[in-house]
Amino acid sequence: MENNNNKQPNKNKDDKDGRKRVRSEKINNKKSLRTRDTGQQAGQSLEELRVKYNEKIDSNINLPSPDSRSGNVSRQGSVFVDLGQFLDFDDLLPLIGEFGWFQKLLFIFMIPFCFIAAFVYLGQIFMTLAPHNYYCFVPELALIDNETERMELSIPREKDGSYSHCSMYDANYTAIHFALNRSIYLNMSWPTIRCQAGYVFDPVEMPFRTATMEFGWVCDRDYFATLAQMLFFLGSILGGLGYGRLADLCGRITALVSSCFLALVGSLFTSLAPNFVAFAATRVLVGASYDTCFTMIYILVLEYVGPKYRTFVANMSLAIFYAPFTMLMPWLALSTYNWRTFSALCAIPISLSLLSFWLLPESARWLVSVGQIDNAVELLKRVARRNNKTVAPSVFDHFRFSCQQFYREELQGRHFGICSIFKKPRMARYMVLMILIWMAISLVYDGHVRAASVLDMHNVFVFFSIACATELPGNILVILTLDRFGRRWCAFVFTCLSGVFSLVAAGTKNSKHMLGAALAGRFFANICYNIVLQWAAEVLPTVVRAQGVSFIHTMGYVAMMMSPPVVYLSSVSTSLMLLILGILGLLGGFLALFLPETLYHDLPQTLSDGADFGREQRIWHGPCCGPGSKRVKRPQRLWHQGSSLRTISRDEFRSTKMHRVARTRVAPRKTQISSQDTVAAEKMIQTYTFEHGQK
């Protein structure tokens, strides 16, 4: 009995404990139901929470399900909630074709714009070429056939025995002209004065008559050509800022066509310029079109090309289209014999580019950003047809739905600017470094381009073509190395090599060796310019990428304004010019080591991503060997699949529309999901993300 009595209390105790456990389980179940919308259910994955939340919404409003046979959303109901993933541009491209006939035609359409970019950039160099051999023109002695006699009678000699370029004797040339024996007037002790009536240029050395020769921008006015080139880059700064805004407001094609029209007007009026003021004003107009007349078609093509083809398209367009036109440009100038004819004739292809307003498609991404979603969908359907791709209508419906519920809401809630980059210390450091690197490389690249016109004055056209020919192998080398060794080490090696060869050229006395080293410096300058052009867009987060890259390019134009004065130093010392280019190359190369590597890394999308990007990398990190050689996968974004405009940080968006979990498709005048359900879902995701982030 005692044992039974002893067991009875234990049994009662077990029963009580069992009832407590059952009661506790019921209470926990009720709590779990109440906390399901706040994400506090232990051990439950986020996907399970989203599915249960979807079931809850479906049971509350009795939503119809999608048609399983066609995959289309049923339109019998008023609302359909889809907690699945959005369909982004990069998700849609494989379905409509990443590099089909449509993209190949766009690639071919880049040809005329590559010519325009080459002419706008390099045309002014040939228009303002300064000849090497010239002397003062004396009208009274113009009828003397013997040039040597004319120079002996009017031009003094320098200390090295050569004839002076900028001085003439102060003598009575009328008396000399009518004298029977002119030899009596040969007197080297006569006083000298500056040239009074212009200059005589050697037609054998310079068969192309430049604006410098026509307006006499030599001797004490030799800085006029340099000033005109600086004003060209001033126009580039203004145009870059203005057209960037115009492209956002009116579209890529509008900005492209208007910039080409500005280049056309500027080139035609350049050919009519009567003096320096008019010439400089027209070059500001042409400079305002520079970069935009090519960058817009460049961006447009890359937007329609799949990610795995973008590096190839970006560099091959420069290699097979732009590089040949730069090599051809000096010979086009030489064939016209006069800078006015050269400027007018090269404007003809620019006029043909105006037809692109009717031939080229608008950017589908821009159409979505301004709310023209139906036009964007129709355009993408045309891309699919051109590429012989069959895409179900439901896919385009899904894409349209994604755009309506995400992209427009994101763009409406966006409040980002250049200042947003500098709010995060790490991003601010990256931005400052990219500005300094881009300014150094831009000055080095443009300096080497312009240096080709002064390094070999006797064969300027031949040497310029050879220097431009380095663009082709340089772009091919970028394609072969950039996706293997990474951006950081490639930028460091190639930029430093450009600086080293420039320094070697500066210290070489032999003219042939100097030209060879300078060509090597130009070759590596081409490579590092293309690398940083792509690298800057990858380091900056998506939400500030366009504005950040535009600002970096603008600072590059500021640096390019200093390249004409650097090349002008060649009149004092060619070694000094190359020395400055070499030091800047080494500086830019070493600064590149302090930027993060982007190869095999998911690119930052938000400001928070940008603030953390590269934190795990060390200065010796290399993607081709050692730690980081494999692709580092970050946690999958929980909000949607889209890869081009996604964001997850509440701190970066003031619009609460960006934090919805339930995606709704609403028919006119029908029931919608209540805002309480949306807020509940939002709190669920936030709480779950916070708790797991703490763990």
Listed residue (321, 292, 317) closest to 305, CA to CA: 317
Lowest model confidence (mean pLDDT) among 6-15, 424-433, 632-641? 632-641
- The mean pLDDT value for 420-446 works out to 88
> Long-range contact list for 211-215, CB < 8 A, 24+ apart?
211/127, 211/128, 211/273, 211/279, 211/339, 212/128, 212/129, 212/130, 212/131, 213/131, 213/134, 214/339, 215/275, 215/276, 215/279
Examine the pLDDT at 180 and tell me if it is beyond 90: no
pLDDT at 602: 64
Both 338 and 276 in one domain: the answer is yes
Burial class (CB in 10 A: 0-12, 13-18, 19+), 315: buried
The model's confidence at residue 350, banded by pLDDT at 50, 70 and 90, is confident
The secondary element (H helix, E strand) that includes residue 405 is none
The model's confidence at residue 48, banded by pLDDT at 50, 70 and 90, is very low
Q: Residue 632 CB: number of other CB atoms within 10 A?
A: 13
Examine the pLDDT at 38 and tell me if it is beyond 50: no
Both 560 and 526 in one domain: the answer is yes
- The mean pLDDT value for 125-154 works out to 86
Q: What are phi and psi of 510, to 5 degrees?
A: -70, 125
Sequence-ordered list of residues with C-beta below 8 angstroms from that of 21, at least 6 positions apart, any chain: none
- The mean pLDDT value for 626-641 works out to 42
pLDDT at 352: 83
pLDDT at 520: 92
- Is residue 412 within 8 A of residue 645, CB to CB? The reply is no
pLDDT at 679: 45
**What distance in Å separates the CA atoms of residue 280 and residue 230, rounded to the nearest whole number?**
9
Q: Domain range spanning residue 512?
A: 421-633
The secondary element (H helix, E strand) that includes residue 666 is strand 664-666
What is the reported pTM?
0.70
Q: What CATH number did the domain enclosing 559 receive?
A: 1.20.1250.20
Could you read off the pLDDT of 490-539 as tens digits, one per residue?
889 999 999 999 999 998 888 888 999 999 999 999 888 888 877 877 78
Both 289 and 352 in one domain: the answer is yes
- Is residue 98 within 8 A of residue 309, CB to CB? The reply is yes
**What distance in Å separates the CA atoms of residue 582 and residue 5, rounded to the nearest whole number?**
100
675 lies in some domain? no
Domain-ending residue, one of 600, 633, 666: 633
Both 575 and 611 in one domain: the answer is yes
| pLDDT, mean over the chain | 75
**What distance in Å separates the CA atoms of residue 633 and residue 653, rounded to the nearest whole number?**
25
Both 215 and 274 in one domain: the answer is yes
- The mean pLDDT value for 165-194 works out to 80
683 lies in some domain? no
271 lies in some domain? yes
* Tokens read off for 632: 């580092």
pLDDT at 623: 67
Higher pLDDT, 60 or 475: 475
pLDDT at 270: 93
pLDDT at 577: 92
pLDDT at 71: 36
pLDDT at 212: 92
638 lies in some domain? no
Domain-ending residue, one of 599, 618, 633: 633
The model's confidence at residue 77, banded by pLDDT at 50, 70 and 90, is very low
**What distance in Å separates the CA atoms of residue 177 and residue 144, rounded to the nearest whole number?**
8
Examine the pLDDT at 225 and tell me if it is beyond 70: yes
Both 475 and 594 in one domain: the answer is yes
Both 342 and 391 in one domain: the answer is no
Percent of the chain's residues with pLDDT above 70: 73
The model's confidence at residue 273, banded by pLDDT at 50, 70 and 90, is very high
569 lies in some domain? yes
Both 271 and 351 in one domain: the answer is yes
Both 505 and 622 in one domain: the answer is yes
Q: What are phi and psi of 224, to 5 degrees?
A: -65, -40
Examine the pLDDT at 417 and tell me if it is beyond 70: no
318 lies in some domain? yes
298 lies in some domain? yes
Could you read off the pLDDT of 434-452 as tens digits, one per residue?
999 999 999 999 999 888 8
Examine the pLDDT at 130 and tell me if it is beyond 60: yes
- The mean pLDDT value for 154-172 works out to 86
Distance (Å) of CA 665 to CA 56, 293, 394: 17, 41, 14
Examine the pLDDT at 416 and tell me if it is beyond 80: no
- Is residue 167 within 8 A of residue 155, CB to CB? The reply is yes
Both 258 and 337 in one domain: the answer is yes
Domain-ending residue, one of 633, 667, 685: 633
If one counts the domains in the chain, the total is: 5
682 lies in some domain? no
Q: At what angle do helices 545-560 and 223-250 cross, to 10 degrees?
A: 170
pLDDT at 493: 92
Could you read off the pLDDT of 393-415 as tens digits, one per residue?
888 888 888 777 765 555 555 56
**What distance in Å separates the CA atoms of residue 464 and residue 274, rounded to the nearest whole number?**
28
Examine the pLDDT at 282 and tell me if it is beyond 90: yes
Higher pLDDT, 629 or 449: 449
Both 142 and 122 in one domain: the answer is no
Could you read off the pLDDT of 308-332 as tens digits, one per residue?
787 788 778 888 888 889 899 999 9
Q: Is the dihedral of CA 274, 280, 286, 288 positive or negative?
A: negative
pLDDT at 502: 93
Both 128 and 140 in one domain: the answer is no
Residue 321 is classified by DSSP as I
